[in-house]
Structure 1
Amino acid sequence: MELIDTFFNWQVLVRSFPILLRGLGNTIMLGCAAIAFGMLAGLAICLMRLYAPKPLRRLATAYIDIFRALPILVVLILIYYALPFVGIRLSSFTSAALALSMVLAAFTAEVCRAGIENIPKGQFEAAEALGLPFWTALRKVILPQAIRVVIPPLTSNCVSVFKDTALASVVAMPDLLKQATDAQALMANPTPLIGAAIIYLAILWPLVRLVAYLEERSKRQLGAH
Structure 2
Amino acid sequence: MNEFMHVAEIALPLLLQGLGTTAAISVLSILIAMVLGSAVGYMCLSKNKAVELIARAFIKIFRCTPFMVQVYLAYYGLPALGLNVSAFSTGVIILGMYTAAYTAVILESGVSAIPKGQFEASYAMGMSRFKTMVRIIFPQTLKIIVPSLTGQFVQTVKDSSILSIITVAEMTMMTKEAIGITFSPLIVYICAGVLYWALNLVIEFASRCIEKHNNRVAI
The yes-or-no answer on 1:184 pairing with 2:176 is no
The residue that corresponds to 1:161 in the other structure is 156
Partner of residue 45 from structure 1, selected from 33, 40, 65: 40
Cα offset, 1:206, TM superposition = 6.4
Which consecutive residues of structure 1, in runs of 5 or more, have no partner in the other structure? none
The residue that corresponds to 1:193 in the other structure is 189
The yes-or-no answer on 1:87 pairing with 2:75 is no
TM-score with structure 2 setting the length? 0.87
Instruction: Give runs of ≥4 in structure 1 deviating > 4 Å.
Output: 205-211
TM-score with structure 1 setting the length? 0.85
The residue that corresponds to 1:29 in the other structure is 24
Cα offset, 1:83, TM superposition = 2.1
Paired with 2:49 and 2:107, the residues of 1 have a C-alpha distance of 19
CA contact (8 A) 1:177 1:193 kept: no
The residue that corresponds to 2:200 in the other structure is 204
Which consecutive residues of structure 2, in runs of 5 or more, have no partner in the other structure? none
Q: What count of residue pairs does the alignment treat as equivalent? A: 211
Partner of residue 119 from structure 1, selected from 110, 114, 118: 114
1:190-215 per-residue CA deviation (whole Å, 9 max, x = no partner) reads 2323311221123325656887x79x
Paired with 1:9 and 1:81, the residues of 2 have a C-alpha distance of 40
Residue 45 of structure 2 aligns to a residue whose secondary structure is: helix
Partner of residue 77 from structure 1, selected from 72, 86, 93: 72
Paired with 1:135 and 1:209, the residues of 2 have a C-alpha distance of 31
Amino acid at match of 2:26: G
CA contact (8 A) 1:26 1:174 kept: yes
The residue that corresponds to 2:91 in the other structure is 96
Amino acid at match of 2:70: V
Amino acid at match of 1:103: Y
CA contact (8 A) 1:119 1:146 kept: yes
CA contact (8 A) 1:67 1:106 kept: yes
What's the RMSD between the two structures over aligned residues? 2.3
